[in-house]
Amino acid sequence: MRRNFTYTYSWIFIIAMAISLNCAFAATLRLPKTDTINYFPLKKKVKKSPLNFTLPPIHPGIISSTKLVVPKPDDKLLSNVEVYPNPITDQINLKYVLSRNSNVTIKMVDVLGNDVMTLFSQRVEPGEQVLNRTLSAKLNRGFYFIRVVAGTESVIKRISLL
């Protein structure tokens, strides 16, 4: 009973709102008193500014031919990381490119994520960098990962040791 009462009165309320909106729009709509249409619009009156001064005209600026190079925030700090030869026997060669000064850490990590050794850790200038290291004989054969961390970016490369 209660649900039917609410359902009925909600529809009555919606219909009453629609009728009142229709009447409100009809009351504000002004129809022309004659049935002719003006094909030529009347001149609009120009309003005077209440300010006592006028602004100077705006001229286009001079276009410069110099090109500004602005570093993009989405530029990568670390790129083109290469590890060779792969598989490795006794020496590891690593090449990477930095776009700006940064602290670089290069670590060798085993399959479980444990640090095996730190190959390099210091501040490096921008440009292409090459690292050559001989590996100790105490490393077991298997798969390892080289993690290169520069600033907040890191790149991981898989290597196999024979």
**Is residue 45 domain-resident?**
no
What is the C-alpha to C-alpha distance for residues 21 and 91, in angstroms, rounded to an integer?
85
Q: Residue 109: name the closest of 56, 61, 157 by CA.
A: 157
**Is residue 53 domain-resident?**
no
**Is residue 97 domain-resident?**
yes
**Is residue 67 domain-resident?**
no
Domain that holds residue 22: 1-29
**Is residue 23 domain-resident?**
yes
Rounded to whole angstroms, the maximal C-alpha distance in the chain is 106
Per-residue pLDDT of the chain (162 residues; tens, 9 = 90+): 566 667 778 888 889 888 888 877 666 656 555 555 555 555 666 566 666 666 666 666 666 666 666 656 667 888 889 998 888 888 899 999 998 889 999 999 998 989 998 999 999 999 899 999 888 778 888 899 999 999 889 999 999 988
Number of Cα atoms under 13 Å in the Cβ half of residue 53: 3
Question: Can you tell me which residue has the tokens 């700006």?
Answer: 100
